[in-house]
């Protein structure tokens, strides 16, 4: 097996774009809007839908990953780097699910689902500070961004130092050896 399943490839790049937009654009912009601003609920609803779509696609991706044959682990030339890459890939899944889970946690704490999707009149709290899930969401965002930078550095190491065109495994083409 030379490459990942094409559905995994499509979802890898779609999710990478969606997650980076959420981390770098959507989330930070949302945080800037005060909770008593008339646009806050609109922005929150958009962010929640975006995050829930990421969560659903991640579940589809995880099931596909577990059910399809994957290429053998890449060799970065050192046992520690190889183990690090495996752990980093696992941590990427864990942190994305942590973002979605903590986001849902914030929503449940302050009744956001009922306000956004069922027309409930419950007012928003003045801010989300002090909600444990909100703190977890911020910490997971910082860790995920750092891990993505590390993941891209791993790609650059393969691309420019080892020159083994590892990225071809996460692209389309003949899969059988």
172 near ligand HEM, rule: CB under 6 A: no
Work out how close the CB of 92 gets to ligand HEM at its nearest, in angstroms, rounded to a whole number.
Answer: 4
Work out how close the CB of 100 gets to ligand HEM at its nearest, in angstroms, rounded to a whole number.
Answer: 5
Please identify which residue in 20, 81, 124, 143 interacts with ligand HEM, judged by CB under 6 A: 20
What is the b/e burial string over 116-148, where b = at least 16 CB atoms within 10 angstroms of the residue's CB? beeeeeeebeeebeebebbebbeebbeebeebb
Work out how close the CB of 8 gets to ligand HEM at its nearest, in angstroms, rounded to a whole number.
Answer: 6
- Of residues 46, 49, 147, 57, the one with CA closest to residue 95: 147
C-alpha–C-alpha distance, residues 144 and 153, integer Å: 14
Of 116 and 119, nearer to ligand HEM (C-beta) is: 116
How many residues are recorded in the chain? 177
- Of residues 40, 25, 57, the one with CA closest to residue 116: 40
Please identify which residue in 14, 16, 81, 136 interacts with ligand HEM, judged by CB under 6 A: 16
Please state, in angstroms and as integers, the Cα–Cα distance from residue 132 to each residue in 31, 83, 84, 104, 169, following that order: 16, 32, 30, 12, 39
Please identify which residue in 45, 52, 136, 160 interacts with ligand HEM, judged by CB under 6 A: 52
Contact set with ligand HEM (CB under 6 A): 8, 12, 15-16, 19-20, 22-23, 27-28, 30-31, 44, 47-48, 51-52, 54, 65, 74, 89, 92-93, 96, 99-100, 103-104, 106-107, 128, 134, 137-138, 141, 148, 151-152, 155, 166-167, 169-170
């Amino acid at each position: 097996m030379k490459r990942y399943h094409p559905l995994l490839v499509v979802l890898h790049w779609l999710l990478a774009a969606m997650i980076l937009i959420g981390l770098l654009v959507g989330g930070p912009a949302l945080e800037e809007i005060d909770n008593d601003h008339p646009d806050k609920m609109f922005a929150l609803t958009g962010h929640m839908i975006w995050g829930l779509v990421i969560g659903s696609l991640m579940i589809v991706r995880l099931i596909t990953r577990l059910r399809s044959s994957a290429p053998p682990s890449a060799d970065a030339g050192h046992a520690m780097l190889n183990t690090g890459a495996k752990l980093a890939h696992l941590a990427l899944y864990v942190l994305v699910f942590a973002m979605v889970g903590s986001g849902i946690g914030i929503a449940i704490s302050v009744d956001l689902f009922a306000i956004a999707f069922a027309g409930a009149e419950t007012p928003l709290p003045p801010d989300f500070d002090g909600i444990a899930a909100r703190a977890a969401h911020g910490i997971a965002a910082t860790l995920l961004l750092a891990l993505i930078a590390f993941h891209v550095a791993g790609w650059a190491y393969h691309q420019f130092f080892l020159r083994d065109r590892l990225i071809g495994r996460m692209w389309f083409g003949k899969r059988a050896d």
